[in-house]
Amino acid sequence: MAAAIVMELWEGFLSYIEAFEEITSGASDRFARGDWQGMQAKGIERLSLYKRKVGQATRRVRRIMKEDHASYEHWISARKQFGALAASHSAFEIAETFYNSVCRKVHAPIGADPILMFVLKEERPDPYQSPVPIFHTYQGHKSLEALMRQILHDYPFKVPFEDVERDIKLIADRIQEEVWPLHRPSSSTRVEMLKSVFYRNKGAYLVGRIHINGQVIPLVVPLLKGKGGLYADTVITDPDQVSLIFSFTRSYFQVQVAGPSEMVDFLRSIMPLKPYADLYNSIGFNKHGKTELYRDFVRHLEQSEDQFDFAPGTKGLVMLVFTLPSYHTVFKLIRDKAHPPKKTDNSMVRRKYRLVARHDRVGRMADTHEFEYFAFPKARFSPDLLKALQEETPSLVEIKEDTVILRHLYTERKMTPLNLFLKRATQAEIEEVVDEYGQTIRQLASVNIFPGDMLLKNFGLTRHQRVVFYDYDEIGFLTEYNFREMPKAQSPEEVYAAGPWFAVGPKDVFPEEFRHFLIGFSGMEEIFVKLHADLFTVEFWLEMQARQVRGEIMDIFPYREKKRFIHQPSAD
């Protein structure tokens, strides 16, 4: 029976990997054709693939086991056999996570069971080693222009460069300006470039590293497709800026991956502060990213002593949010009953979170992971938090002698709430963050997202000083809303009416009213109006809706505008 379970699981995993690779391999053709809608559609299709394949494998396992599907004896043996089979596969860690997913479905409801599943590792396993290197190696004794000419030549794009010599010089000059003054090259200097190209939206990213004087420097070249062909938009050599490209606030790349652990190991060499979970997410294996997050969290619990408590910021009306002060993640539970005036329920909130998970987050919405039957040590909860969980989310809480089990929750990266940051910010910081705040609203609109509740407390600040939206209970597609001018009062009764004296539909929005709640701090209004006054006009929102209806994919770059090479043609 155990062998039969393993066979079904292994075939299900191989089917998943084959379908994953098939979707991903088409990215180069979509980029060459400029099929930006297709690029996004295939990204969404790939996101739903894992759940579908796990569901298929679960049904097959249940059929062969019949009433005996929950037998621990069979599953303990299956785990051992599957582990031996997975060990030699290039995506061994993805295989183990796939096994865990099916096991949990078969035994539902169940949390992470270390006896039945691959839960924790005593130490991080060595990455898979491909028989052929996953990167090209270039010796650094050549001139920078000769080096970049060879690198660009080795990528077989189906579209020619618009002016490759111009781009070679631009890239070489930027490296000469940013890297060489700090790190003098020598005969031992070498460059390693991943053979796989990272595709996302309208961009194709060449990702590599420079080994120089015992240090590792990132080398990332974003390419765009213009009417005349390909062109390099910039070159990134700063780890923090590369981290923004691989941010938890962005959609996942479509990149061909022979061995996920090997690629993640390479990426972490150029982004040493980036969690493993984020890197697995970024290359499309977000379910294993969830596994990595859980493992990292359990290890952190063993090495810390602080207590879980309410997350900093204004308490939400829909979600109860708590955190461990020493950890980088918050835990969000949907209240059994939303506080007035909110009228959302559990199913509505879950739909909103699914919307965000499948949508282009454009660097302005935090990625989340959804967990069920998550176990915490009871002793680590503050009394007030434990009481609030029992009173406000009783349907989600199960308390045992020394354990608190939460039946459903979301995890999200911890950020500084924007309203708290502005209370202690300098004038210069206020000016920068207020601009970021407006850019966030503007860029969300560019991907057909209307936040709904745009109060400062629903936005956070990352370590890179990026403003990110993280409260999704009122989020919706921009095209679903009706943006209106405020009617002019025609009589004293209308002027002094306690409430609206005109009909207002549930999806009606009055942009000129935004200034009453978008601007909440002294000195903020003047800055916001100077930079983003058009957000208070109906015309802006109607134009953004029209662009969405036309199917336009707008250019939003995952690096600072000032980093872009000047005098480049607009993208196709």
Residues labelled catalytic: 367
C-alpha distances out from residue 455 to 509, 516, 542, Å: 15, 10, 22
- Would you report the helix, strand and coil content of the chain in percent, each value rounded to 5? 45, 15, 40
Three-class SS of residue 241?
A: helix
- Taking the alpha carbons at both ends of the chain, their separation in whole angstroms is 56
- What CA–CA distance (Å, rounded) separates 100 from 259? 20
Q: Which residue, chain included where needed, has tokens 């009228």?
A: 343
Amino acid at 266: F
Do β-strands 476-477 and 368-371 pair in parallel, antiparallel, or remain unpaired?
Answer: unpaired
- What CA–CA distance (Å, rounded) separates 101 from 405? 19
- What CA–CA distance (Å, rounded) separates 144 from 185? 10
Say if residues 269 and 216 touch (Cβ distance below 8 Å).
Answer: yes
Is the C-alpha dihedral spanning 278, 283, 289, 292 positive or negative?
negative
- Residue 162 CA, chain-centre distance (Å), reads 32
Say if residues 9 and 98 touch (Cβ distance below 8 Å).
Answer: yes
Three-class SS of residue 477?
A: strand
Three-class SS of residue 310?
A: strand
